[in-house]
Chain A
Amino acid sequence: MNALENAMIEKARDLLEKGVVKRVVGWERGEFAYDPSPATFESAQSLESFVYNDFCGANLSKYLIKVSKNEGKTAVFLKPCDTYSLNQLIKEHRVDREKIYAIGIECQQKLDHFAIEKIGIDGIREEKYDGDEAVFHCVDGEKRAKKEDVVLLRCLTCKSKKFAIAEDTVVLHEMTESCGDRFEEVRKLSGMTADERFAFWQNELSRCIRCNACRNVCPACTCIKCVFDNPKSGVAAKANDVPFEEQLFHIIRAFHVSGRCTDCGECSRVCPERIPLHLLNRKFILDINENYGEYQAGEESEGKTPLTSYQVTDVEPGDAVRKGEDR
Chain B
Amino acid sequence: MQEVNTENEKFVPNIVAFCCNWCSYAGADLAGSSRLSYPANVKIVRVPCSCRVNPTFVLKAFQRGADGVILCGCHPGDCHYVTGNYYTRRRMALLFSFLDYLGIEKERTRVEWVSAAEGAKFSAVMNDFVRQVTALGENKRISDLRVKEE
> Which residues does A use to contact B, with CB under 8 Å?
186, 189-190, 194-202, 227, 239, 241-242, 244, 247-248, 251-252, 254-255, 258, 280, 283-284, 287-288, 291-292, 306-307, 310-312, 314-318, 320-321, 324-325
- Report whether A251 and B99 are in contact in the complex, using a CB–CB cutoff of 8 Å: yes
Known: A254-B98, A312-B86, A314-B93. A194 touches B103 (CB 8 A): yes
- Report whether A258 and B93 are in contact in the complex, using a CB–CB cutoff of 8 Å: no
Interface string of B64-105 (1 = CB under 8 A from A): 000000000000110000010011011111111111111111
Q: How many residues of B contact A (CB 8 A)?
A: 36
- Report whether B97 and A324 are in contact in the complex, using a CB–CB cutoff of 8 Å: yes
Is B30's CB within 8 Å of the partner chain A?
Answer: no
Q: Roughly how many angstroms separate A42 CA and B90 CA in the complex, as a whole number?
A: 46
- Report whether A255 and B94 are in contact in the complex, using a CB–CB cutoff of 8 Å: yes
Binds A, one of B9-17, B21-29, B55-63, B114-122: B55-63
- Report whether B56 and A252 are in contact in the complex, using a CB–CB cutoff of 8 Å: yes
Q: Which residue of A lies closest to B55 (CB)?
A: A255
- Report whether B83 and A258 are in contact in the complex, using a CB–CB cutoff of 8 Å: no
Is B36's CB within 8 Å of the partner chain A?
Answer: no
Q: Roughly how many angstroms separate A197 CA and B110 CA in the complex, as a whole number?
A: 20
Q: Roughly how many angstroms separate A195 CA and B105 CA in the complex, as a whole number?
A: 9
Q: Roughly how many angstroms separate A51 CA and B114 CA in the complex, as a whole number?
A: 61
Q: Which residue of A lies closest to B98 (CB)?
A: A283
Chain A residues with Cβ below 8 Å from B90 are 292, 306-307, 310, 314
A318 touches which one: B94, B95, B101, B110 (CB < 8 A)? B110
- Report whether B101 and A255 are in contact in the complex, using a CB–CB cutoff of 8 Å: no
- Report whether B146 and A197 are in contact in the complex, using a CB–CB cutoff of 8 Å: no
* Pair count A-B, CB < 8 A: 114
- Report whether B94 and A239 are in contact in the complex, using a CB–CB cutoff of 8 Å: no
Q: Roughly how many angstroms separate A201 CA and B93 CA in the complex, as a whole number?
A: 20
Q: Which 4 A-B pairs have the closest CB atoms?
A: A198-B103, A197-B103, A310-B86, A320-B93
Is B111's CB within 8 Å of the partner chain A?
Answer: yes
Is B145's CB within 8 Å of the partner chain A?
Answer: yes
Chain A residues with Cβ below 8 Å from B55 are 251-252, 255
Q: Roughly how many angstroms separate A258 CA and B86 CA in the complex, as a whole number?
A: 17
Contacts A189-B101, A317-B96 given; 15 further ones with Cβ under 8 A? Answer: A194-B100, A197-B103, A199-B103, A201-B103, A202-B103, A227-B56, A255-B55, A283-B101, A284-B94, A288-B94, A316-B93, A318-B96, A320-B93, A321-B97, A321-B106
Known: A244-B143, A255-B55. A310 touches B98 (CB 8 A): no
- Report whether B56 and A287 are in contact in the complex, using a CB–CB cutoff of 8 Å: no
Q: Which residue of A lies closest to B142 (CB)?
A: A247
Complex interface residues of chain B between 13 and 55 (CB less than 8 A to chain A): 55
A198 touches which one: B97, B104, B111, B144 (CB < 8 A)? B104
- Report whether A195 and B111 are in contact in the complex, using a CB–CB cutoff of 8 Å: no
Q: Roughly how many angstroms separate A254 CA and B102 CA in the complex, as a whole number?
A: 12
Nearest Cβ distance between residue A206 and chain B, in whole angstroms?
A: 13
- Report whether B76 and A197 are in contact in the complex, using a CB–CB cutoff of 8 Å: no
Nearest Cβ distance between residue A123 and chain B, in whole angstroms?
A: 40
Nearest Cβ distance between residue A181 and chain B, in whole angstroms?
A: 17
Nearest Cβ distance between residue A183 and chain B, in whole angstroms?
A: 12
Known: A201-B103, A314-B93, A317-B111. A251 touches B146 (CB 8 A): no
Q: Which residue of A lies closest to B147 (CB)?
A: A234
Chain A residues with Cβ below 8 Å from B143 are 244
Chain B residues with Cβ below 8 Å from A284 are 94, 98
Nearest Cβ distance between residue A167 and chain B, in whole angstroms?
A: 35
- Report whether B98 and A196 are in contact in the complex, using a CB–CB cutoff of 8 Å: no
Q: Roughly how many angstroms separate A201 CA and B96 CA in the complex, as a whole number?
A: 16
Q: Roughly how many angstroms separate A324 CA and B97 CA in the complex, as a whole number?
A: 7
Known: A197-B102, A201-B102, A242-B146. A312 touches B76 (CB 8 A): yes
Q: Which residue of B lies closest to A202 (CB)?
A: B103
Q: Which residue of B lies closest to A227 (CB)?
A: B56
Nearest Cβ distance between residue B84 and chain A, in whole angstroms?
A: 10
Chain B residues with Cβ below 8 Å from A318 are 96, 110-111
Q: Roughly how many angstroms separate A162 CA and B99 CA in the complex, as a whole number?
A: 34
Can you pick out 18 interface pairs between chain A and chain B where the beta carbons lie within 8 Å of each other?
A: A189-B101, A190-B101, A194-B104, A195-B103, A248-B59, A252-B55, A254-B98, A255-B55, A258-B94, A283-B97, A284-B98, A287-B94, A306-B90, A312-B76, A312-B86, A314-B86, A320-B93, A320-B94
